Amino acid sequence: MAVGYGLVVRFTLRSEEAAGAFDELVSRTLEGIRRDEPGTVVYANHRVPDEPAVRVFYELYADRAAFEAHERQPHVRHFLEERQKFVARADVTFLEHIDGKV
């Protein structure tokens, strides 16, 4: 499989309490991603040491079409709406795969 489309998102959350609620929202969203998104290769939420109100997502898709399909999913639409309660800032970096072990 040619893996060629990804992104990194750095979320700065409103508080440590907001971070916990955000993590729960992400876990619920991942249920749908695991079940319904074969083109989503990696969708991972990371905690940043010494920054309790920061989360970093790494997302890797089979291609741009898989990312666009991901964005249309009901569980993702719900996540995008609900996350605003917890997020103070989101910085997105889109990536294009060059080489690596996948």
Per-residue tokens: 69: 């399909």
Per-residue model confidence as pLDDT tens digits over 58-102:
999 999 999 999 999 999 999 999 999 999 999 999 997 788 876
Using alpha carbons, list the distances in angstroms from residue 64 to 11, 15, 38, 67, 77. 22, 33, 13, 5, 18
* 78 close to 33: Cβ distance less than 8 angstroms: no
- Residue-wise pLDDT for 4-26, tens only, equals 799 999 999 999 999 999 999 99
Residues pairing with 6 in the sheet: 60, 95
Predicted local confidence at residue 97, as pLDDT: 78
Predicted local distance difference test score (pLDDT) of residue 100: 81
The answer, yes or no, to whether residue 3 has pLDDT greater than 90, is no
State how far the Cα of 11 lies from the Cα of 13, in Å rounded to an integer: 6
pTM of the model: 0.91
